[in-house]
Amino acid sequence: MKITFLGTGTSLGVPIIGCNCKVCRSTDKKDKRFRSSVFIETGGRSFIIDTGPDFRIQCLNNGVERVDAVFITHIHRDHLSGLDDIRPFCYQQKAFIPVYGTKTTCERILKDFAYCFGENRYPGVPDITLKEISAEPFEVQGVKVIPIPVMHGKMEVTAYRIDNFTYITDASFIPEESIKKIAGTEYLVVNALRKEPHPSHFTLSQALALIKTIRPKHAYITHVGHGFGFYDEMQKNLPENVTLSYDGLKIEF
């Protein structure tokens, strides 16, 4: 399995428009973050988790040439609004691309991207097939996917597990039943917005506590805000099995 971090930033990205803090002014490319998304290659298939507003340039920057399915974690715009940019893959692959999400997510896609559906679709729109999921595992072209409900403040969002890889974004609390589904994960990605408390995101200390509970071989921090600090300074203070992810990071196992 190969994972490419297409984006590792929070909803505003880093740098933030109009912000002159030291992190937003950093010249280190590891301190520059598009909205969070990952590209997964496994079993001869290629998957995307979340299509935020930076999706097009993320694919170009990372040489993404094929997408067999898209998994959406939740309906917030920084995770969904770039879905229209799936079009080139539809054209080149000459196929409808399945997009997976909960009932709430599918309903929002039907509303926000209404022109993609119905009898009188606008010419050239993305060829999308919506696939509604529950909390039960499902299979995509021979690859087993386990959706895992987690809480983003008062909103339920979906984490995804494929084999020994689990991706969690925008979480502030994980129910015990979901912890059981994550258990045994060898490679874990989890959000940590900043060091200070936040109503709907893990802090760094909370993310590290989760990592200590799950005990993966290696964990990666994502969905990072500018208040997190410089990449180099933060990385040297993390446990040996924890990496602060950055845009373009590739891991293979």
Phi/psi for 237 (5° steps) reads -100, 5
| Overall number of domains in the chain | 1
Range(s) of the domain holding residue 211: 2-252
CATH code, domain carrying 62: 3.60.15.10
pLDDT in tens, 79-121: 999 999 999 999 999 999 999 999 999 999 999 999 999 888 8
Amino acid letter at 32? K
Rounded Cα gap, residues 107 and 21, in angstroms: 38
* Ordered alpha helix ranges (H), the chain: 55-62, 77-80, 87-93, 103-112, 176-182, 204-214, 231-235
Q: Which of 85-89, 116-120, 153-157, 165-169 has the lowest mean pLDDT?
A: 116-120
